[in-house]
């Protein structure tokens, strides 16, 4: 896993209180990790903080899996 | 009208994270007061409080026991305390496994006086320093007063009345009284009722200090600062925590063989119509509430064995006492009266519920908790048993619990033993 993927996974574990081995890149925040829409808003804020990126609302709405978040950050991180 | 009994108890207090630990410490004369550890209070006029103790303390609180990790992260401490106390009460009542039909007839009336002040403070600073985009999406529903009730009903699947009282320091008593009426009026068969508070944060302490409500003269002697009825009393000590009871319709409780602690027989409510923070100087509102509760209970002076006074350790203590004398007689009809705020501080919206539980335990065990630090009783207390310094064994069959709050709101609850 890339450094970004590791850091994304760590934030997900801390925010959602889920077991680290469940946080695969394929895992869906809502279907697999028990998040609701507000949890995703909070996660997106945490990603913005951690990586210094802006994730606009329309992009955030398309982030459904851990991998989606990792990919977005990898592509937009300065 | 249907009869209403108490079948479960739950407590989170500065003296313990459960009912029996709190009660044992209270009877032993322990104090929950100390220097504020929750934040750096060195620039505050008041530096002391009765905090709920951390997990590693002998009587500390472990939120992980009953509150989901995610919920803990999203909500203010008063909601965490409330969810835990509600869970304790349900477990104590043996009602953690109800049918869907029973859940539809089970509700909550768990309020708070102020709500999520610490979270409001933190997010206000956050908004100011980092902008609106950094405000937590859980900010609103993590601070709202009715979210103990909301969280508890979601957790346990209760679909009955979803209610939350906000009447400052009368909240806990009003919550129990209102919930008892909902059962009496057939709106529900079971109600979780009580209150919670946690405002030991910079804004909360500063606000009450500026209102001249807190003790600010005994910062170096925290365990001596809450001293109801003592001549040297000088304001209350802030407490925090939660108290929740399970109220249940009597026939239902009897039929399932529930442990019945007490019956809620009297409830009185009134307003002072006088001042936003000061009680009516003659205690007229307090008197009206007590008289209404006695009338509802069908009791007279001489029938009450124990009074848990509002007794905040302010000048208002003697106003309350004068009102009680007018209602029950100069000797309070032989009742013992104490203020447990001397040990746990003032739990504000949680006070009435926590103190109602102390009243119930006094009936159960035949012992009344002490008024700590009462070394030099104020004028007007002569001939009255204020249970100074040490707990006292006595038969207790009927109890009166008073709660009064800012805004001139008064509530009195009477509970009795069920034979």
Distance from B15 to chain A by nearest Cα, in Å? 30
Residue B25 token pair? 């410490």
Distance from B313 to chain A by nearest Cα, in Å? 43
Per the residue annotation, which of A36, A39, A58, A68 is the catalytic one? A36
The answer to whether residue B259 neighbours chain A at the CB level (below 8 Å) is no
Residue B33 β-bridge partners = B50
Per-residue pLDDT of chain B in tens (419 residues, 90 and over written 9):
899 999 999 999 999 999 999 999 999 999 999 999 999 999 999 999 999 999 999 999 999 999 999 999 999 999 999 999 999 999 999 999 999 999 999 999 999 999 999 999 999 999 999 999 999 999 999 999 999 999 999 999 999 999 999 999 999 999 999 999 999 999 999 999 999 999 999 999 999 999 999 999 999 999 999 999 999 999 999 999 999 999 999 999 999 999 999 999 999 999 999 999 999 999 999 999 999 999 999 999 899 999 999 999 999 999 999 999 999 999 999 999 999 999 999 999 999 999 999 999 999 999 999 999 999 999 999 999 999 999 999 999 999 999 999 999 999 999 999 98
Q: Which strand (E) or helix (H) includes residue B269? A: strand B262-271
- Is the predicted pLDDT of residue A52 greater than 80, yes or no? yes
Interface contact A17-B69, CB threshold 8 A: yes
Q: What share of chain B is helix, strand, coil (3-state, %, to 5)?
A: 35, 20, 40
Per the residue annotation, which of B46, B50, B169, B359 is the catalytic one? B169
Q: What is the pLDDT of residue B357?
A: 98
Distance from B88 to chain A by nearest Cα, in Å? 23
Mutate to test the interface with B, among A20, A33, A35, A39 (most CBs of B within 10 A): A39
The answer to whether residue B137 neighbours chain A at the CB level (below 8 Å) is yes
The answer to whether residue B131 neighbours chain A at the CB level (below 8 Å) is no
Query: Quick one: which of B49, B42, B25 has its CA closest to B240?
Result: B49
Q: What is the pLDDT of residue B13?
A: 98
The question of whether A36 is a catalytic residue gets the answer yes
Interface contact A38-B133, CB threshold 8 A: no
The answer to whether residue B103 neighbours chain A at the CB level (below 8 Å) is no
Mutate to test the interface with A, among B64, B137, B147 (most CBs of A within 10 A): B137
Quote the CA–CA distance of B52 and B44 in Å, as a whole number: 20
Q: What is the pLDDT of residue A2?
A: 79
Contacts of B73 in chain A (CB under 8 A): 15, 17
Interface contact A41-B137, CB threshold 8 A: yes
Closest chain B residue to A16 measured between Cα atoms?
Answer: B70
Quote the CA–CA distance of B305 and B367 in Å, as a whole number: 11
Interface contact A15-B133, CB threshold 8 A: no
Interface contact B70-A38, CB threshold 8 A: no
Distance from A2 to chain B by nearest Cα, in Å? 27
**ipTM score of complex:** 0.87
Contacts of A34 in chain B (CB under 8 A): 70
Q: How far is CA B127 from CA B132, B135, B181, B198, in A?
A: 5, 6, 42, 22
- Is the predicted pLDDT of residue A1 greater than 70, yes or no? no
Residue B248 token pair? 């249940």
CB proximity list for B165: less than 8 A, separation 6 or greater: B109, B111, B171, B174, B175, B178, B195
- Is the predicted pLDDT of residue A37 greater than 80, yes or no? yes
- Is the predicted pLDDT of residue A53 greater than 80, yes or no? yes
Q: What share of chain A is helix, strand, coil (3-state, %, to 5)?
A: 60, 5, 35
Q: What is the pLDDT of residue A77?
A: 84
Contacts of A13 in chain B (CB under 8 A): none
Interface contact B70-A16, CB threshold 8 A: yes
Contacts of A39 in chain B (CB under 8 A): 70
Whose structure tokens read 């040490």?
B390
Who among A17, A41, A45 is closest to B70 (CB)? Answer: A17
Question: What pTM does this model have?
Answer: 0.96
Residue A23 token pair? 């946080």
DSSP B235: S
Q: For residue B383, how far is the Cα from the chain centroid?
A: 28
The half-sphere exposure of B330 on its side-chain side, counting CA atoms within 13 A, is: 3
Whose structure tokens read 């459904």?
A64
Closest chain B residue to A48 measured between Cα atoms?
Answer: B134
Portion of chain A with pLDDT greater than 90, in percent: 94
CA angle B238, B244, B250 (to 5 degrees): 145
How many CB atoms sit inside 10 A of residue A43's CB?
Answer: 25
How many CB atoms sit inside 10 A of residue B150's CB?
Answer: 17
How many CB atoms sit inside 10 A of residue B323's CB?
Answer: 25
Q: For residue A26, how far is the Cα from the chain centroid?
A: 11
pLDDT (tens digit, 9 = 90+) per residue, B274-328? 999 999 999 999 999 999 999 999 999 899 999 999 999 999 999 999 999 999 9
Quote the CA–CA distance of B383 and B380 in Å, as a whole number: 9
């Amino acid at each position: 896993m890339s450094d970004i993927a590791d850091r994304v996974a760590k934030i997900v574990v801390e925010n959602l209180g889920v077991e680290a081995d469940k946080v695969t890149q394929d895992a869906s925040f809502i279907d697999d990790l028990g998040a609701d829409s507000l949890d995703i808003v909070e996660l997106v804020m945490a990603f913005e903080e951690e990586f210094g990126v802006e994730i606009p609302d329309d992009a955030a709405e398309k982030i459904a899996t851990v991998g989606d978040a990792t990919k977005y950050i990898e592509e937009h991180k300065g | 009208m249907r009869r209403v009994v108490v079948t479960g108890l739950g407590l989170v207090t500065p003296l313990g994270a459960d009912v029996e630990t709190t009660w044992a410490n209270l009877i032993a004369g322990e104090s929950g007061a100390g220097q504020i550890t929750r934040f750096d209070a060195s620039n505050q006029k008041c530096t002391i409080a009765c905090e709920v103790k951390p997990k590693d303390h002998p009587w500390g609180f472990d939120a992980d026991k009953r509150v989901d990790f995610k919920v803990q992260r999203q909500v203010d401490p008063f909601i965490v305390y409330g969810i835990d106390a509600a869970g304790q009460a349900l477990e104590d009542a043996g009602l953690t496994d109800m049918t869907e039909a029973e859940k539809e007839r089970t509700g909550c009336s768990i309020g708070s006086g102020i709500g999520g002040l610490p979270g409001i403070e933190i997010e206000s600073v956050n908004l100011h320093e980092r902008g609106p985009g950094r405000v937590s999406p859980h900010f609103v529903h993590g601070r709202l007063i009715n979210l103990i009730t909301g969280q508890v009903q979601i957790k346990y699947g209760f679909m009955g009345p979803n209610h939350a009282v906000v009447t400052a320091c009368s909240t806990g008593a009003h919550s129990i009284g209102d919930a008892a009426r909902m059962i009496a009026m057939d709106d529900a068969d079971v109600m979780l009722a009580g209150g919670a508070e946690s405002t030991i944060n910079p804004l909360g302490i500063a606000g009450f200090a500026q209102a001249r409500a807190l003790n600010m003269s005994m910062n170096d002697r925290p365990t001596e600062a809450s001293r109801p009825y003592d001549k040297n009393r000088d304001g209350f000590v802030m407490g925090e925590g939660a108290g929740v009871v399970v109220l249940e319709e009597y026939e239902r409780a009897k039929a399932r063989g529930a442990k019945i602690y007490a019956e809620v027989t009297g409830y009185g409510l009134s307003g002072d119509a006088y001042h936003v923070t000061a009680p009516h100087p003659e205690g007229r509102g307090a008197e009206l509430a007590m008289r209404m509760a006695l009338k509802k209970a069908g009791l007279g002076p001489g029938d009450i064995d124990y009074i848990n006074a509002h007794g905040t350790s302010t000048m208002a203590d003697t106003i309350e006492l004068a009102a009680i004398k007018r209602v029950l007689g100069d000797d309070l009809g032989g009742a013992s009266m104490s203020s447990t705020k001397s040990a746990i501080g003032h739990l504000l919206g949680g006070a009435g519920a926590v103190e109602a539980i102390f009243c119930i335990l006094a009936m159960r065990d035949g012992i009344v908790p002490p008024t700590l630090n009462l070394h030099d009783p104020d004028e007007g207390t002569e001939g009255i048993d204020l249970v100074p310094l040490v707990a006292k064994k006595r038969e207790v069959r009927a109890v009166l619990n008073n709660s009064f709050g800012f805004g001139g709101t008064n509530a009195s609850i009477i509970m009795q033993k069920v034979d």
